[in-house]
Chains A and B, each alone.
Chain A
């Protein structure tokens, strides 16, 4: 089973700042990584797939990079609605696994 480790667990930033979230895989997952955003009381929402492709309707301030075992989600100039929990998820091999999440909170 591929283990995904996200860091940091919590990130405290102010609106307008840049956020960088990391996801490390325990083995090579090529670019089969997705990022999901979850706001309190809501279902998750797909942000990025295959490491760097934005899902439909996702603003351009969200971008993803990486391949192999190291991945990054970057949010340039945080908006108030971006404060949420972010999960990475791999589909390179079964079972599908999720990271433990990074909580992005308002500083």
Chain B
């Protein structure tokens, strides 16, 4: 069974940078397909942040593209999200998910709440 688990700080100050890591178990992220980050402000809908293929090619939401970087660490079977210049509008639950394309094994992480506040 594929399991994904997000980890990172729960609270970050405005203007700072967020770093989140998704640890994947039960599936090698180098096997193929792609992985993604999605966020959800409390009480609102889902917003795709970006995705990265095992090859290293990444796609980002145009609304966030200037502030987002996704990277893969195959040796640790992890992929990470970096989001800069945080504001209160970035307060949300952040989820990792995948593998997109191998839907028999697709899974969501349990999510982690990020609060941006001074």
Question: Is the beta-carbon distance between A56 and B47 smaller than 8 angstroms?
Answer: no
Closest to A56 in B: B104
The residues of A that contact B27 with a CB separation of less than 8 Å are none
A74 at the interface (CB under 8 A from B): no
Contact A46 B103 (CB under 8 A): yes
Taking the nearest CB of chain B, how far is it from the CB of A71, in angstroms?
A: 16
* A contact face: mostly helix, strand, loop, or mixed: loop
Complex CA gap A76/B62 in Å reads 38
The answer to whether B48 and A49 have CB atoms under 8 Å apart is no
Q: Which residues of B contact A96 (CB under 8 A)?
A: 36, 48, 51, 59
- Cβ of B95 and Cβ of A44 under 8 Å apart? yes
Interface 9-mer from B11-19, B69-77, B84-92, B107-115: B107-115
Which bracket fits the contact residues of B?
Answer: 20 to 34
Q: Does the CB pair A95–B62 fall under 8 Å?
A: yes
Residues of B close to A64: CB separation below 8 A: none
Tell me how far the C-beta of B35 lies from the nearest C-beta in chain A, rounded to whole angstroms: 12
Assess A44 versus B46: contact at CB under 8 Å? Given A1-B62, A95-B61, A96-B51.
Answer: yes
Residues of A within 8 A of B (CB): 1, 34, 36, 43-46, 49-50, 53, 55-56, 87, 89, 91, 94-101
- Cβ contacts A to B, 19 pairs, < 8 Å: A1-B62, A34-B103, A36-B46, A43-B108, A43-B110, A46-B106, A46-B107, A46-B108, A50-B103, A55-B103, A55-B104, A56-B105, A89-B48, A95-B60, A96-B51, A96-B59, A97-B48, A98-B38, A101-B46
- B residues neighboring A (CB under 8 Å): 36, 38, 45-48, 51, 59-62, 95, 100, 103-111
